Chain A
Amino acid sequence: MPEAEAAVGSRRELEKRRRRAEREARFGAWYPRWYWPSFAAPATIWIAFLFVLPFYVVLSVTFGTVDAIFRNPLPVYQFWWWSGSQFVDTAQRFYGSNAFYQPTLIRTLWYVAVASLLCLVIGYAVAYYVARYGGKRKALFLVLLIAPLWIMYLMRMYAWQSLLTSDGWINDLLMFLHVIGHPVNWLEGKPITVIIGLVYGYIPYMILPIYGQLDRIDKNLLEAGRDLGAGPVRTFVRVTLPLSKQAILAGMIIVTLPMFGDYYTNDLLSGSPKTSMLGNIIDSSVIQPGQGPLAGSLVVLLMVLLLIPMWYYLRSTKRAVEMG
């Protein structure tokens, strides 16, 4: 018996050595199994503590309850006691006979779509100019593009409030240029004002990734396009645009996601329920007694909505990586 056991032990040892030799041959050196996965530890901890855990708390509030006296949100951390009634009630505000949140949802989609497209069109043009014609002043242009971010978003919106008043500079300028005959009341709950605010607030986040990509495009590829008979427009459409597709997608994701949750642009530049977005109704719910689960439900529904563009972006990025 001891001989048989020794034989088994020896076989295991041999197998272990063989695997180790195999790994050494593959990687050039031997590493323990945990070595490479450990590189993901900081990101994993980051995600766990700053996303997964807070999101679980949001879920616990959403499917939780409120305390009987103050009606503060009372998160229920044990998922087996979660109640979906508030979530269903909230979802029913988006469809059915009393779907009073539906116009807000449609409005939000509409505002975000228009604002994102404007960000793309304007941002692409600016990024293209800086990348292609910036020359020695590229760094200066970049600093100027980032400069507004040095001032907090709220302050910039307050500045827009002053600029957009009836007797503000925007009206003065437009009247001087004879674009308008009389002052426009920009701050009286106009969708265009909210969209302008969103575009202004988020456009730097569109410009930067597109600029980064355009700047990296090999100029030889553009020249090759020209050599093969393509004009400037065709070169742009067939070469530059496809090569910047990933940056456009990244830029769209970066500006679109926060726009969906934005509420202060609307609060400061409109204040009218006629321009309320999803972010506004979440904000409004959070501060009311007993509305914690409602606010949580809205956050979860918004997240589900945002998963669609996120999924498309991840799929597209994966494809791009696979295609090299």
Chain B
Amino acid sequence: MQRGPRARMSRRDFLLRSAGTAIALPSMSAILAACSKPGTTSSGGGGGATPTGIPLARPDAPVTLPMVGEPIPSDTPIETNATLKIYNWSDYMWKKVLKEFEDKFHCTIEWTTFNNMSEALQKLSSGQVQSDVFFPTVDVLGKLVTAELLQPLNHDLVPNLPGNMWPDFQNPFYDQGWRYTVPYTIYTTGIGFRNDQVDPAEVADKQYSILWDPKYQGKVGFYDDYREALAMALLKNGITDTNTASQSDIDIAKQDLLKLVQDNNARITINGTYVGIPESNFYVHQAWSGDMIGAQWYMPKGESPNLLSYWYPEDGRGVVGNDTITVPSSAQNPRLAHEFLNFFLDNKYATQNFSWNGYQPPLNSMDPDTLIKDGYVPKSLPEAVVRASDFENGYWLLELDPSVDQTWLSAWDEVKAGA
């Protein structure tokens, strides 16, 4: 006798019921969402307007970010036995220096990292990550302030800010009056290369075009960063507006990068400079100055760090930038966070940190002329030392209007697809 579930649910019944459940669950959430359509698509238009209502910060159009809330009072006691939560790029701070902070302030540091600014903003704005200290790039500050994710700083609690900073860095155009930020590191973007494979004179002569030289086919690379990569191609073509809204300019840059990929077999990496060049996987690579200085620690045994070279336009007309440190509005230990900011603007600790990650803070105590002599920077990398003058002529990669940003991203999609 056949035994079993002859009266089983038919496949059609099963599918219908499963589909019913699947539709019902999100629908319940939809009802809870008060039946209103969430959000709107990003607005278009240019002319400096942004969805944040804050004008786009430019060196010739400085921005004072609106005050959201009040800074903490100067007499706020330092939180003791606290856990200070830091949200930062990976491999960007020396653990030894962090340990010194822990010892000095009797606290514990909890370290959370992100891989790119988009991920960081997503997690911070959705509340997935709560931190006391956050390291944003300058192009997202307007967004962070509009969303009330940052708290204004109390400058009385960060005395190292005016005291130790370069004079040219006292009042940055992107955050007039240092309302929300203090600078962390500065950098330039140029070309890194191995001088035993590529003649420095040739790089100085060909400049950005060295990457397109068929002699180095297969041994060239550029950063997996749409703004940096396209900006390099713009500069190669003599277009100096690195925040351009011009479709034709962006197309020129895109075509040039595609040519670089197709003809010279260029690879897109994020560690090709500081790991790839020392290991000879790359002879020439787009490079952040800090990556090149940090590359010395990745040289194979027996190879001199002086095989590393870096090129940046002699007139300082290349890409420059700096990262910042901020205190999020949700900080549980805001006073300790202020101490942290002040700590990393301290000459001693900032120098220690620089000696580990290669990224230079804009401090008076750090004389660019002595960094090589003091052994922080290999002799072959004088151009990787960032000078105040670089910020006089350099080009920044700054916040774009969303529609313009989309144009950049579409071009980048095409490059990444290797079409």
Interface residues of A (CB under 8 A from B): 23, 26-28, 33, 35-37, 39-40, 44, 47-48, 52-53, 56-57, 60, 64-72, 74-78, 81, 93, 100-104, 107, 165-166, 185, 187-189, 270-276, 280-281, 284-285, 287-291, 294
Q: Are B18 and A47 in contact (CB under 8 A)?
A: yes
The CA-CA distance from A166 to B39 in the complex, in Å, is 51
Task: For B266, list chain A residues within 8 Å (CB).
Answer: 272
Q: Are B147 and A70 in contact (CB under 8 A)?
A: yes
Q: Are B8 and A287 in contact (CB under 8 A)?
A: no
The CA-CA distance from A53 to B27 in the complex, in Å, is 11
Q: Are A44 and B18 in contact (CB under 8 A)?
A: yes
Task: For A28, list chain B residues within 8 Å (CB).
Answer: 1, 3
The CA-CA distance from A100 to B411 in the complex, in Å, is 10
Task: For A56, list chain B residues within 8 Å (CB).
Answer: 22-23, 25-26
B215 within 8 A of A: no
- With contacts A104-B419, A270-B267, A276-B418 taken as known, whether A77 is within 8 angstroms of B33 at the C-beta atoms is yes
Task: For A23, list chain B residues within 8 Å (CB).
Answer: 7
B218 within 8 A of A: yes
Task: For B246, list chain A residues within 8 Å (CB).
Answer: none
- B76-84, B116-124, B191-199, B342-350 - the one binding chain A: B116-124
Q: Are A68 and B417 in contact (CB under 8 A)?
A: no
Q: Are B38 and A74 in contact (CB under 8 A)?
A: yes
Q: Are B218 and A188 in contact (CB under 8 A)?
A: yes
Q: Are A37 and B219 in contact (CB under 8 A)?
A: no
The CA-CA distance from A66 to B26 in the complex, in Å, is 19
Task: For B146, list chain A residues within 8 Å (CB).
Answer: 69
The CA-CA distance from A171 to B199 in the complex, in Å, is 28
Q: Are B21 and A48 in contact (CB under 8 A)?
A: yes
Q: Are B218 and A68 in contact (CB under 8 A)?
A: no
Interface residues of B (CB under 8 A from A): 1, 3-9, 14, 18, 21-23, 25-27, 29-30, 33, 35, 37-43, 51-52, 115-116, 118-119, 121-122, 125-126, 143, 146-147, 218-219, 221, 226, 261-262, 265-269, 272, 279-281, 402, 405-406, 409, 412-419
Q: How far is the CB of B11 from chain A (nearest CB, A)?
A: 11
The CA-CA distance from A106 to B280 in the complex, in Å, is 32
Q: Are B51 and A68 in contact (CB under 8 A)?
A: yes
Residue of A67, A69, A104, A294 touching B418 (CB-CB under 8 A): A104
Q: How far is the CB of A225 from chain B (nearest CB, A)?
A: 34
Q: Are A188 and B7 in contact (CB under 8 A)?
A: no
- With contacts A40-B9, A101-B417 taken as known, whether A272 is within 8 angstroms of B261 at the C-beta atoms is yes
Interface contacts beyond A56-B26, A100-B419, A274-B418: sample of 16 additional A-B pairs, CB < 8 Å, sorted by A: A27-B5, A33-B7, A53-B22, A53-B25, A57-B26, A65-B41, A69-B51, A77-B27, A77-B33, A81-B37, A104-B418, A189-B267, A271-B221, A272-B267, A273-B261, A273-B418
Q: How far is the CB of A41 from chain B (nearest CB, A)?
A: 11
Closest to B119 in A: A287
List 3 tightest A-B contacts by C-beta distance, closest first: A273-B418, A36-B5, A100-B419
Q: Which of B5, B35, B265, B418 has the most CB of A within 10 A?
A: B418
Residue of B121, B265, B415 touching A189 (CB-CB under 8 A): B265
Task: For A70, list chain B residues within 8 Å (CB).
Answer: 121-122, 125, 143, 147
Q: Are B35 and A78 in contact (CB under 8 A)?
A: yes
Task: For A187, list chain B residues within 8 Å (CB).
Answer: 281
Q: Are B267 and A52 in contact (CB under 8 A)?
A: no
Q: Are A68 and B268 in contact (CB under 8 A)?
A: no
Q: Are A285 and B3 in contact (CB under 8 A)?
A: no
Q: Are A72 and B126 in contact (CB under 8 A)?
A: yes
Closest to B116 in A: A287
Q: Which of B27, B42, B417 has the most CB of A within 10 A?
A: B417
Q: Which of A69, A74, A291, A294 has the most CB of B within 10 A?
A: A69
The CA-CA distance from A271 to B268 in the complex, in Å, is 6
Q: Are B18 and A48 in contact (CB under 8 A)?
A: yes
The CA-CA distance from A53 to B23 in the complex, in Å, is 9
Task: For B6, list chain A residues within 8 Å (CB).
Answer: 26-27
Task: For A57, list chain B residues within 8 Å (CB).
Answer: 26
Q: Are B265 and A274 in contact (CB under 8 A)?
A: yes
User: Can you show 8 pairs from A to B with CB atoms below 8 A apart?
Assistant: A28-B1, A56-B22, A75-B38, A78-B35, A78-B37, A104-B417, A189-B218, A271-B221
